[in-house]
Amino acid sequence: MNIQDMTSFDKFLTPTLIKVVYWIGNAGIALMSLMMILSAFSYMGRGVMQVLGAIVFFVVGLIFWRVMCEGIMLTFRIYDRLTEIRDRLPRN
């Protein structure tokens, strides 16, 4: 992506940026789950439940985060497909 693309809005920045944000979010979810597991060692009785909760948080968090990012990307994919359809239509 060059300066011309950014200033003319011919190419969107968000699809590229959302991929970076997605991986940062994945790292955040993994780090949070790890912190939950490590803090579970300070609790004897409920520590097992907290470890299970951390695993559930990790799996559900990753799925939810993926769906959220795909929802944002979907907007741009729809735009791309509509542009392709428009370009295929005959000109009058």
pLDDT tens by residue, 55-79: 999 999 999 999 999 999 999 999 9
Distance CA 11, CA 81 (A): 14
Residue with tokens 């790890």: 34
* Domain chopping of the chain, boundaries: 11-85
For the cut 90, the answer to whether the pLDDT of residue 25 exceeds it is: yes
Global pTM reads 0.79
